[in-house]
């Protein structure tokens, strides 16, 4: 999971989630480790920041039909991350639903970094994503009946945000 909590939700329109970046996360130490004379510079990998936005937007898309459809990321249309996120900061993902139909959905989102020492939020990125409802795919492929995309981790995040009704 690359989000920790949902902080705002407008059904069918918008979902906001946060991720607290901690030095205790293993992936931080590998990105970028000390090499020779250079000291370590631990940062949150941009690929995982984009994945956090995909999870945020994916929950928004899936919630429209009560998670009855299997929603998967089909395309990253645009992803721009302009600053590194260091441990001790919080990432805020703000996803908006732009288009939704039986085949899938398109979303846009902004990514902000919250600095707890100053209380400031800085816009660090923008992401545009396309999701597919794989049960309605054009290839004719069959997928398992159970929703393998909607995991217990997502269910826990929804419940902790007071959105239990979306889990039904």
Catalytic residues: 31
**DSSP assignment, residue 40?**
P
Query: Is 25:43 a contact under the CB 8 Å cutoff?
Result: no
Q: Are 52 and 106 in contact (CB under 8 A)?
A: no
Q: How far apart are CA 43 and CA 38, in angstroms?
A: 15
CB atoms within 10 A of CB 143: 13
Which regions of the chain does DSSP assign to beta strands (E)? 5-10, 14-20, 71-81, 90-100, 104-115, 120-133
């Amino acid at each position: 999971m690359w989000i920790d909590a949902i902080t705002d939700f407008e059904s069918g329109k918008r979902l906001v989630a946060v991720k607290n970046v901690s030095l205790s996360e293993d992936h931080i130490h590998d990105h970028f480790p000390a090499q020779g004379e250079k000291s370590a510079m631990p940062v949150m990998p941009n690929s995982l920041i984009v994945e956090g936005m995909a999870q945020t937007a994916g929950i928004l898309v899936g919630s429209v039909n009560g998670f009855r459809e299997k929603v998967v990321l089909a395309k990253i249309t645009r992803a721009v991350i302009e600053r590194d996120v260091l441990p001790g900061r919080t990432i805020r993902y703000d996803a908006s639903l732009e288009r939704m139909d039986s085949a899938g959905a398109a979303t846009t989102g902004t990514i902000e970094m919250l600095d707890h020492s100053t209380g400031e939020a800085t816009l660090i990125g923008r992401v545009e994503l396309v999701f597919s409802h794989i049960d309605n795919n054009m290839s004719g492929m069959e997928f398992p009946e159970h929703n393998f995309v909607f995991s217990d981790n997502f269910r826990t995040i929804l419940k902790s945000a007071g959105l239990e009704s979306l889990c039904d």
